[in-house]
A and B are shown apart, each in its own frame.
Chain A
Amino acid sequence: MPSLFQTILHGRLTGLLVLGAVIAVLPLFLPNNFYLDIAILAGFNAVVCVGLNLLIGYAGQISLGHAGFFGIGAYASGVLAGNYGWPPVLALLAGAVFVGLLAFAVAKPILRLKGHYLAMATLGIGIIVSIVLRTESGLTGGPDGMTVEPFRIFGFELYGEKTWYWVVGALLVAVVWLSLNLIDSPMGRALRAVHGSEVAAEVVGVDTARFKAAVFVLSAVFASVAGSLFAHYAGLITPAKADFFKSIELVTMVVFGGMASTFGAVVGAVVLTLLPQALTVFQDYQQIVLGAILMATMVFMPKGLLPTLAALLPARRRA
């Protein structure tokens, strides 16, 4: 009997089915809206992380600024749907298009950079975005944030944790499906080749700059869409959702769960969304415990949670 982990790691779509099944039955075990709310937040984070993992885990390019894209998506929805009365779907699309264009414009010059220089540049972009959101209070409400209209589509209003749970669940399944498809394609291999050896990829014809830019844009758009929907769900957004710490949190989820593993990104997002909630029992020691867990996990499982656990399973060993 193959274990759950082997199924997740080996089947092309079995993993997706398992994910769908977990999402489908999870509400039965969640006693109230408080838990549903945490599940929804985990779902939003997971959507962003699946995209970010394509960039960091598969293509090997760091971004310490993706919360900026999440934030732009959120505020595009807040501002356009709220202040200007756009239909939410249109606001979401406008945000995604804007983020896509912005990411595309910065991608080629920035992704020429390597390692820590790339980290610096993406960090800078994220911080600049969050400072703009915090400062342009006429549009964004400044540091206190702004309220966001509920999401309406075809006359329906998405309301309540129950509805949003299914929306986010469906979105996550869709994003995971897209990610799995991409990785198992010529473009996906090109992305991994960029990670493995840029020069070797180039000499067999991979235009590395183009593929790095493409995956950067794609991951930014995933973040933007998640940000838009999050804004409507939460009803209130603040610049903190776009700041350096949110970016770090997202990267940490990807690395924690396991780089170059789509399900690792999901697991990382879920675990690290739950962890702070669970750590509230430590009260004043919460930060200390969180920092210690991060350090210990990364020191003892540098490849991340899911790949490390998978490697422990004897049947996975290759001949």
Chain B
Amino acid sequence: MNMRTDPELSLDAAPVARRDGPPLLRVEHLSREFGGVLAIGDLSFTVAAGDIHSIIGPNGAGKTTLFNLVTGVYKPSGGRVLFDGADVSGQAPYRLAARGMSRTFQNLQIFFNMTALENVMVGRHLHLNTRLLPALFRFPSLVRKDSEARDRAAALMAEVGLSKYLDADAASMPYGALKRLEIARALAAEPKLLLLDEPAAGLNATESREIDAVIKKVAAGGVTIVLVEHDMKMVMGISHKITALNHGRKLAEGTPAEVAANPEVVAAYLGAAP
């Protein structure tokens, strides 16, 4: 990956070409209830490798619950999640991460007890020696790989436009930067599939366009992306495919143009938007 800094982020890059790959993520008849209330019901969809696949729907439609189910944070009440050809339903998040899945959070989950760079370095966890004895006695191989991880994390931070925050305490960073820090951390794990939960929420127009550019760049690098986002301009602009949810069920699916033209979607979601 090349080193880039903020001003160089090309904000008007053309849409990422669709590769129409084999399915990387397949959700089959997934459901989850909380105390008798169905948050996700009999939901099935497929994410093709290489796609930017967006999940849209009004608040409470079950988007974040879906993310939590796919990434193993919640256990499904029924149905299956297949990732990269294997049934991974109910597996712990760290196992899914080892299989190549990573994500960001709608409500920031930053390690506020560390610097920004250290946050991203935690993302390298799976690629480093994390055993106790080599750490206690500072084995040279561990130290060497750790310093490589540091460089790599710094490069990733540059990639998302955070170069000036390298040694900043995460707790001292502005909201918009933290949103990007989560993306950098997730990328540090070198995932095949990256799930982004409202990466542009709470950002101003300029920051949103920067995030937009970051997502396109990541996708262009070959990472499959599942995106939950309320910014319809962004979603319509960058998605290859969109799945619309309402009340935990699938409402519609298709290309941005198809979904935008679907009367049910318009009624449930777009029509309600100002």
Contact = CB atoms under 8 A, between A and B. Distances in A.
A and B, direct touch (CB closer than 8 Å)? yes
Interface of A: 178, 181-182, 185-190, 192-193, 195-197, 199-208, 211, 214, 218, 260, 318
Given A203-B103, A208-B94, A187 B168 contact: no
Interface in B75-110: 92-94, 96-98, 101-103, 105, 109-110
A-B residue pairs, 4 tightest by C-beta: A196-B111, A185-B135, A205-B97, A200-B109
B172 interface: yes
Contact of A204 (B126, B136, B142, B169): B126
A186 B94 contact: no
B189 A205 contact: yes
Interface residues of B, number: 48
Contacts of A195: 111, 113
A186 B124 contact: yes
B138 interface: yes
B102 A196 contact: no
Residue from B98, B105, B109 whose CB has the most chain A CB atoms within 10 Å: B109
Interface stretch (B23-31, B37-45, B115-123): B115-123
Contacts of B206: none
A310 to B, nearest CB: 13
B97 A185 contact: no
Given A197-B111, A214-B132, A203 B121 contact: no
B233 interface: no
B264 interface: no
B73 interface: yes
A203 B146 CA distance: 20
29 contacts: A181-B135, A181-B138, A182-B132, A185-B135, A185-B138, A186-B124, A186-B129, A187-B132, A190-B130, A192-B111, A193-B122, A195-B111, A196-B110, A196-B114, A197-B111, A200-B105, A200-B109, A202-B93, A202-B97, A203-B71, A203-B186, A204-B122, A204-B126, A204-B186, A204-B188, A205-B189, A206-B122, A208-B94, A260-B113
B135 A206 contact: no
B226 to A, nearest CB: 13
A186 B114 contact: no
Nearest to B143: A185
Contact of A189 (B97, B98, B118, B131): B118
Contacts of B172: 318
Nearest to B129: A186
A196 B113 contact: yes
Contacts of B169: 318
A218 B132 contact: yes
B142 A186 contact: yes
A196 B135 contact: no
A87 B101 CA distance: 52
A189 B142 contact: no
Contact of B135 (A187, A199, A208): A187
A42 to B, nearest CB: 24
A197 B109 contact: yes
A200 B137 contact: no
A120 to B, nearest CB: 24
A200 B111 contact: yes
Nearest to A211: B130
Interface in B171-204: 172, 182, 185-186, 188-189
Given A181-B136, A195-B113, A187 B97 contact: no
Most buried by B among A186, A188, A192, A193: A186
A303 B188 CA distance: 31
Nearest to A58: B113
B128 interface: yes
A184 to B, nearest CB: 8
A221 to B, nearest CB: 11
Given A200-B111, A202-B73, 20 more contacts: A181-B135, A187-B132, A189-B114, A189-B121, A193-B125, A195-B113, A196-B110, A201-B122, A202-B72, A203-B93, A203-B96, A204-B123, A204-B125, A205-B94, A205-B97, A205-B98, A207-B94, A208-B94, A260-B113, A318-B169
B111 A186 contact: no
A260 B114 CA distance: 11
B103 A205 contact: no
A201 B185 CA distance: 10
A186 B93 contact: no
Contacts of B167: 318
B94 A206 contact: yes
